[in-house]
Structure 1
Amino acid sequence: MAKSEDFPGKPRNAPTWMSGVGRAPAELPEPNLRVSVKEMLAQQQVNEPAAKQAVADTKVENSQAKVSGKVLETQAPNGVIAEISTTNIRVSPFQPRLSFNETAIEDLANSIASVGLAKPITIRPIGDGIYELVGGERRWRAHKLLGRETITSYVREMDDALAQILALTDNEGQEALTEYERGKSYAKILDSGGERSIRALGRRLGVNHSIVSRCLLLMDLSNEVKAILDTNPGLIGGKRAKDFIEFSNEEPELLLQAVTAMRDEQWTQEHALRWLAKEIASRDQQKTPSKFTDKEISGIGKVRVDGKKVELRCEKTVDAKRLAEHFEAFLKTIDRSLIISE
């Protein structure tokens, strides 16, 4: 019987490439599962001409947007992330923020210059290589302040209704919107049919419907007061907003004076409300006639009328009991038709 040459421990014949014959198989790179968007964009810049052609042939699922920019687009849910020219971006007609704090934008620009942009802006294509801001106008303004030619953007096609909703939600995590700004945007969404009810809008935004209702109350202010709030949206808000609404219904002219003073003289809400209450009380007091009417009857005394009461104060020389007897007899002779109120 032939002896087996195959026994444990005996080395097998080595592959030909180990002996210098043939070619070693190429090593397979390990997949990098934690590549950031920034790193992906940087890697694409290394071989930009070839990558551009590859991206041009890529079909982005759920998005028909054609994105142009210095850095190539990266696939993202419902759209793409790309570097877009800041000059090709237009502000949104649905921007809820009515005023921008220039100092806060300068601080944001300094932060971006130091650590970079933490969150891409959101835009939508509107044709001819132009895009409309949906969320991130403060970040876009900061880039323009820094002189940056492009900004990392999440590009997504969407209709006006969705653009209005996303414009609101994007601002929730930044410098807080005022209640007037939110109320104005809520009213636009409801008026345009973007949501069918206050409750539905609250659910869509993740906001309690009572807060939505409170913000919408500010839309009941007079047009003159709202014109002031359009440039100074933080003047009225919070739990005192309802008090201003009541004054708007009862004393619109006085309220306009108070809000003007809030703008020009930096009155607080509490000071304005106290002034309103004092002015109304003072004016009402001037309009209301004196509660008591005194008339003196020579030789008898003074007659005072207090509402439905008639009071007679006799002089010292008059016997009140005798006067009462004569007065009673006199009352029996009066023609009632002469004293009935009209």
Structure 2
Amino acid sequence: MNEELLIRLSNADAVASKESEVRDILKEEMCASSDEVMYDKIGSTIFHQRGTQEDGVKVMFCAHMDEVGFLVRHISEIGFLYLVTLGGVLDKAKENQRVRVTTAAGQKVYGILNVTKTDKGAVKEMYVDLGVDSKEEVAALGVEIGDMVTFDSHCTPFNRPEVYAGKAMDDRTGCYVICEALKRLKTLEHQADIYMAATSSEEVGVRGGKLATYRVNPDIVFAVDVANNPELVKNYANHRLIGHGPMIVHYDRMLAPNEKLLRFVKETAKKHQIPYQADMFGGGGTDAGSAHLSREGKLALVIGIPLRYCHAPWSLTHMADLEHTIELIVRIATSLTKEKYQEFISF
């Protein structure tokens, strides 16, 4: 496992439309395994590895680069930054948290995030204390309205070597997985044309998957994303346990997958003894939810990575889950053919 890559991806800062730190890491890691690199016009980056079959099936795996976070909305006269959220940051993650601001020049400025509340205890406003006392001192630090603010967490092993704690595991674990899968596929023969899409702006309306799908026009789309593990439940009701393998998602609010494709993925996992969890979401949604509505419709499915704690300063991920997700992607990619795809869409 490439733990150093996971650490770099988790520590990088990237909210919607400000994903250059993550994009640069992925380009550094994935270009050598790609025959072509493409972009859409919002910054999603697509790594193409050609297959051996002429006019072969086109398969896209996508993972989003952006994390939940904030933008500087207002700077007060006494030097406090007031914020707006990008994505569903948990309210309990907004109090007394260390954060970092990325300036237009790329400098990191550190502060403490806190909130004011309504009479009923709901979060009213979010503000960051930089330790200064005036708007002028804020300006001297290079901080401006519109700057990105992220949690100041640093990825590290968490008491045992197979578990890592860090920020932005939604969806830097997915970015890690598509990166390492593409490297392995470079050494293997596959008939399918493979596209690994690092998408923009998923946390603010699943935008990147839709546009990347239109750009590539694949036959099948797999979103490689995450789901939060209800950490106090470790019985039959929890299908998101870390260390128990990736989730093959049977349903969410935005997608009910093609039943033949779903069966194929489950059978592929069983054939190669890859542990998995069969999950469903009552709500939620991923890039697959918007991608499958592109053009005349696309086959799509979600492969999920279980996390403990999500949309917060810290998430826990299990390296075995990442390894098994990589293996599942590789096995899917090397098994798919044009003929198999035609079976899926034979209604």
- Whether TM exceeds 0.5 here: the answer is no
By percentage of residues, which structure has more strand?
2
TM-score by length of 1: 0.24
Task: Kindly indicate whether structure 1 or structure 2 has the higher relative contact order, using CA contacts under 8 Å at least 6 residues apart.
Answer: 2
TM-score by length of 2: 0.24
